[in-house]
Structure 1
Amino acid sequence: MLEYAFILTFIFVTALAGFYFKLLSMSGSLAAFTIGMAVGWGFGLRGLLVLGFFFASSSFWSKFKSKQKIKVEDKHEKGSRRDWHQVAANGGIAGIASILYLVYPSPVWLIGFLISIASANSDTWASEIGSLSKKPPLAIRTLKPAETGTSGAVSLLGTFAAMAGASAIALISFFLFDLTPFEALFILAFGFAGNVIDSFTGAYLQAIYKCNVCGAEVEKLNHCGKKTSLIGGKRFADNDFVNFFAGLASTALGMLLYILMT
């Protein structure tokens, strides 16, 4: 009983702190609390520590050298303060895996949970750290230089950051959940794969708009006070959709392979 009281307090304080420090909107804070409760029920304090590391590290990197990222944020629909859509896109799969583990205890749900967090962490580190690269990223579709912050464009710094992000979750999971070295490497590989899937989905499916005032290519529905025009991708595929799809795809593939191999 004492453990559950501590877990509830931990989740509540974390969600409240996220709102207080303007890392989360009110809806984002409520979504974080909900997902935290699911993870706490399913995987206890150890699961919350993995989720907490993702939240803390992603928040840190989103604020790191934020002045250099102002131009990048202008391209995106949302800023660094996450709403419930963004929280669900990055943590929703982890929450679902936690509930399913609670109902149907099986190691495969733990692997799915950890892959989903590794994927989200890999993608977040790639985006936030990669945007600080001194060299422009290369667009996947054309292999030509693109503006920093362009979805579907990759840089060497961002790729190393993605690998580091997945590795960090795999390493923490290895010690917290007493995984085998193979399982830790498995989580690392599919966590990084989530970032790769995100990049390709962003390149070929994510909606791109053009500002009718300044002519800039952005991911926003409105820019310079006017509605933008869709010039590429699918209207439904915003950044939240891409993040969720990439996490779901890497998690599902990882779980399927894990079942076949065990």
Structure 2
Amino acid sequence: METFLNQTLIAVLISSLIAIRSYRRKSLNFSGAVSGFIVMTAHIAAGSRFGALLLVFFFTSSKLTKVGEERKRRVDADFKEGGQRNWIQVLSNSGIAAVLVVIVWKLTGQQDKCLDSKELPLVTSLIGGILGHYCCCNGDTWSSELGVLSDEQPRLITTFKPVRRGTNGGVTKAGLLAAVAAGSVIGLTFVLFGFFTATCTRDIALKQLLVIPISAIAGLCGSLIDSLLGATLQFSGFCSVRNKVVGKPGPTVKKISGLTILDNNAVNLVSILLTSLLTSIACKYIF
């Protein structure tokens, strides 16, 4: 009980500082800061390794969002200075993982565990889901934020035809490579922290290194799934008045691709769910 209270107090302190800092730097608006505080507290209290995954995703994504802001402002119709994520965006990118880490914490008694399907099949699957979650989020964000800055002409993932920058479902080689790198960073973070926080046999410990290539693939898959959904179920059109790609139809908007079924948050949520499920299954059978 004492360990849990100490970990919770540390989690509250760290989460408070990060939420306040992010609000002041406009990475989060007020609702995003409050929901971010709750999500971060749950992650860090459940285990430092889970907290590390969330913070690596949050800080790298926030940093990349601010890279090339002027260029992104000219392309993105919904551009906001610093990113300014709200509570919906925070929960769509971290809400599922928050639930999963709490379940893992309950099942393991707050002890960090290695991926091992023979001893802990359910926990291994759940941790795989958490990894897939953040590989997808990180992969999609890195791909979007760096891909839009590439000089390469984006191509619609369904037809491979050239499209305007900012079109949902438009991909570039740079963006896809960024997604692979983003997933690898999540996997590397998990493995490195595990060397200090989890105890397991030598063979099982060495097998944890497979998390890195699995995470790289998950980052790429998450980005591809997001792009496929964006190209088919999310509307993209070019507004002749604003001279930008927009996400809603209108009298001055010429359709580029997609249906008006999902918005950006829904696309993120569905791609996260699918990537988490696939990574969970992969971890169950590989480990």
TM-score (norm 1): 0.88
Structure number with bigger Rg = 2
In the other structure, the counterpart of 1:91 is 94
Structure 2 residue runs without a partner (length 5+):
109-122, 196-204
CA displacement, residues 160-199 of structure 1 (integer Å, 9 cap, x when unaligned): 1111111111111111124612233222222321111111
Matched, 1:102 2:105: yes
Between the aligned partners of 1:128 and 1:184, the Cα distance in structure 2 is: 22
Between the aligned partners of 2:80 and 2:266, the Cα distance in structure 1 is: 13
Matched, 1:240 2:265: yes
SS in 2 for 1:177: helix
More off after superposition, 139-148 vs 126-135: 139-148
In the other structure, the counterpart of 2:74 is 71
Return the match for 1:252 from 267, 277, 282.
Answer: 277
Matched, 1:60 2:46: no
Matched, 1:187 2:215: yes
User: Contact 1:41–1:98 (CA<8 Å) still a contact in 2?
Assistant: no
In the other structure, the counterpart of 1:138 is 155
Matched, 1:15 2:19: yes
TM-score (norm 2): 0.81
Identity of aligned residues (%): 29
In the other structure, the counterpart of 2:132 is 115
* 1:170 alignment partner AA: G
The 1:192–1:216 alpha-carbon spacing in structure 2 relative to 1, beyond 3 Å, is closer
Return the match for 1:206 from 234, 238, 241.
Answer: 234
CA displacement, residues 61-113 of structure 1 (integer Å, 9 cap, x when unaligned): 00012111112222x47662111111112112211211221233412222211
* 2:50 alignment partner AA: G
Aligned residues: 257
CA displacement, residues 93-148 of structure 1 (integer Å, 9 cap, x when unaligned): 21121122123341222221122111101110000011111122111222121111
Between the aligned partners of 2:20 and 2:175, the Cα distance in structure 1 is: 30
Between the aligned partners of 2:80 and 2:222, the Cα distance in structure 1 is: 21
Per-residue deviation at 1:215? Answer: 7.4
* RMSD over aligned Cα atoms: 2.4
The 1:231–1:148 alpha-carbon spacing in structure 2 relative to 1, beyond 3 Å, is closer
SS in 1 for 2:149: coil
Per-residue deviation at 1:216? Answer: 5.2
Per-residue deviation at 1:29? Answer: 0.9
Structure 1 residue runs without a partner (length 5+):
none
Matched, 1:2 2:27: no
The 1:169–1:86 alpha-carbon spacing in structure 2 relative to 1, beyond 3 Å, is same
User: Contact 2:129–2:277 (CA<8 Å) still a contact in 1?
Assistant: yes
User: Contact 2:20–2:33 (CA<8 Å) still a contact in 1?
Assistant: yes
More off after superposition, 178-187 vs 29-38: 178-187
